[in-house]
Amino acid sequence: MVDWFILAVISLVSAGLAVQWLLPRRRHRGDNFGLSSPTSLFDAVFLFDDQRLISHSDMALEGFEEVRSWHDLRRLLQRDFPTFPKTPDCIRQEGNLIIPAIDCTVERDVMCEWIDGIVRVQLRENSICPATIHREANDPIRLAMERAPYPVWLLDEHDTVRWCNAAYISLVRKVRGQDTDLTAPLFPGSEEDARLGGKTRVSISSDGSEIKLWFDLTRVHHPEGHLCYAVDINAIVDAETAQRKFVQTMTKTFAQLSIGLAIFDRNRQLALFNPALIDLTTLPPDFLSCRPSLSSFFDRLRDQHMMPEPKNYRSWRSQMNDLLEAAEDGNYQETWSLHSGSVYSVSGRPHPDGAVAFLFEDITAEITLTRRFRSEMDLMQSVLDKLADAVAVFGDDGTLAFTNYAYQNLWGDSGDSGFDADSVLDVTRNWQELCTASPVFGEIREFVGMRDNRAEWSAELRMRNGASLECTICPVQNGATIIRFATEDKTVLQPKLHQISA
C-alpha cells in the first residue's frame, strides 16, 4: 500500500515538472498579447488533452480569457490563421504542424506539437524562429508566390480565402481599408465562372467610390478548392475605352460627310462605312452591314449599274485586282461616268495594318459647271473670231488672256498659249518689231498695269508694210483691258493663202 502511495506521489511530481517544462517562462504582465493588436508580442502557449484545455501560460490570459477548449481557440485564430485545424487529430498524425498567418506580410505563425498525448500550441513570432527562416529560405516556390507582383489567393470549397500573397493583401486593404477580414473574398465567387483555367474580365470598386478596377481573373483547380490569379488590366481597359470613344467620334464625323467612305480590313471585308455611301451607291444597308468582301462589293455596284459597265467581265476582274494593288499604293484615282448622267470620283487610299479605304464623291455638279464654262468659253471665242477687228484681251495681272482670229492673222500669232502666258511687255515688243517706232507701246504697257483713273483712248500705228492701224484701248471691270486694232485695208486682217493651205 505504501508502495502504491509512493508511486502516485512520484507521478504527480513528474507531471508537474512536465507541465512546467512545456510552458514558457513567466514574463511581465504589462505586455500586450492580443491577436488583433499589430503591436502585440505574439507569444503564448496552450496545452490540450484532446479537445480540453488543461493549462496555458500567463500570456494567454491577455485577450484569451474565454478559451476553455480547442474550439474556443480555433474561433479566435480562424480570422488570422484560417488553416488552423478543426481538431487535434491531424496533429497526432503529423507530429508537428506549423500554421502560417494568412497575412504573409507579418512574421507570425502557430506551432502545434504532439508530446506523449498532449497537444502543445504556441503562438510565436517568425522573426525569432530560426527554423521558420530556414524553412522559407528552402521553399522558393512559396517565396515566389508570396512576392508575386499580382494578386494570388487560395479559395476553399466554401469560397473562403485560405491563403493569399502580399499583392492580394495590398489590394484588399486599398479597396476595403486596413482593418478588414482577409478571409472574405474580394472577387466574385467561383460559381460565377464555369470555365476553369480561362480568363474572365471582372471589376471591383472601393467602398463609396464609383471608380472601377479591372482585372483578368483566372481560376485553376486545387485539391483544397481553387487557386486564383488576378492581372491588372486597367491600362488595357482605359485604352479600349479611349479607342471606343475615338471610333464613336470618327463615326459621327464620317456620318456628316457628303463623301461616301468604305474601309476594308486586311481580310478584304467591309469594316466601316458611312450613310453617304448608301446614298451614293444605293446599296442596301443590310448588305453593307453583313460585311461583304471587296469583290462582292464591286460586283453589287456593277449589278446596280453604279459603276461603268466593263466590256469584258474577265478583263474587268483583272482590272479589279490592279485596282486593289493601286489602292494599296495610294495611286488609284478614277472618274466614273454612269448611265444616269452622274459622275463619281473614286479614289483608293491605303490604311494601317493592310486596310484599304475607298472614297466615292459625286462631282456631277462640278463636271457640269466645268463643261458649261468650257462651252461658254468656246462660244465667246467663236464670237471673237467673227469680228473683223483684231482683238487682244489682257487680264488684271498684265498677261494676254484672249485673242481672236483676226489678231492672230495680223500679228502672226498662232494662238497657242503655253504654261506661261505672254506678258504685256512681250506682246508689245512683238508689235514694235512689225511697226514703226511709236511712244504708244509704252503708254499701252503703263495703262494695262494701272488700276485707277482709266478711260478709253485711241492712237494710230503704222506697220512697216505701210498699213495704218487705229488702236483703241478700252478698260473693263476687274482690271482687264481690251485692245482693238482696226484698218481700212481689210486684206491685212485676212489670212494669207499659204496660211490657209497650211
Output the 3-class SS for 389-457: CEEEEECCCCEEEEECHHHHHHHCCCCCCCCCCCEHHHHHHHHHHHECCCCHHHHHHHHHHCCCCCCCE
Question: Helices 424-434 & 440-449, crossing angle to 10 degrees?
Answer: 160
In angstroms, rounded to a whole number, what is the distance separating the alpha carbons of residues 127 and 199? 38
- Count other Cβ atoms within 10 Å, centred on residue 322: 11
Cell 464620317 belongs to residue: 254
Helix (H, G, I), strand (E, B) or coil at 155: strand
In angstroms, rounded to a whole number, what is the distance separating the alpha carbons of residues 329 and 333? 11
H or E segment and range at residue 127: none
In angstroms, rounded to a whole number, what is the distance separating the alpha carbons of residues 124 and 107? 9
pLDDT at 456: 92
Q: How are beta strands 152-155 and 118-125 bridged, if at all?
A: unpaired
Q: What backbone phi and psi angles, to 5 degrees, belong to 193?
A: -135, 105
pLDDT at 35: 33
In angstroms, rounded to a whole number, what is the distance separating the alpha carbons of residues 460 and 471? 6
Q: Are 391 and 484 in contact (CB under 8 A)?
A: yes
pLDDT at 126: 63
Q: Are 122 and 45 in contact (CB under 8 A)?
A: yes
Cell 508694210 belongs to residue: 465
Q: How are beta strands 260-264 and 270-273 bridged, if at all?
A: antiparallel
Domains in the chain with CATH codes: 21-138 (3.30.450), 146-236 (3.30.450.20), 257-362 (3.30.450.20), 377-501 (3.30.450.20)
* pLDDT tens for each residue of the chain, 502 residues long: 545 455 554 555 454 544 444 444 433 333 333 333 333 446 778 888 888 888 877 654 455 667 788 888 888 887 778 888 888 887 877 778 888 778 777 777 888 888 888 888 888 876 544 444 445 545 677 777 777 888 998 888 888 888 888 888 888 888 888 778 788 888 876 555 556 777 888 888 877 677 888 999 988 888 878 889 999 999 999 999 898 888 788 778 878 888 999 988 888 899 889 999 999 999 999 999 999 998 889 889 888 888 887 766 677 667 667 666 766 666 778 888 888 888 999 888 887 777 888 899 999 988 888 889 899 888 888 888 888 899 999 998 999 988 999 999 888 876 665 557 789 999 999 999 999 999 999 999 999 988 888 899 999 999 998 889 999 999 998 889 999 999 876 555 555 433 433 3
Helix (H, G, I), strand (E, B) or coil at 498: helix
In angstroms, rounded to a whole number, what is the distance separating the alpha carbons of residues 30 and 59? 10
pLDDT at 9: 47
In angstroms, rounded to a whole number, what is the distance separating the alpha carbons of residues 412 and 415? 9
Three cell numbers, residue 447: 495703262
Q: With 0-12 CB in 10 A as exposed, 13-18 as middle and 19+ as buried, what is 256? A: exposed
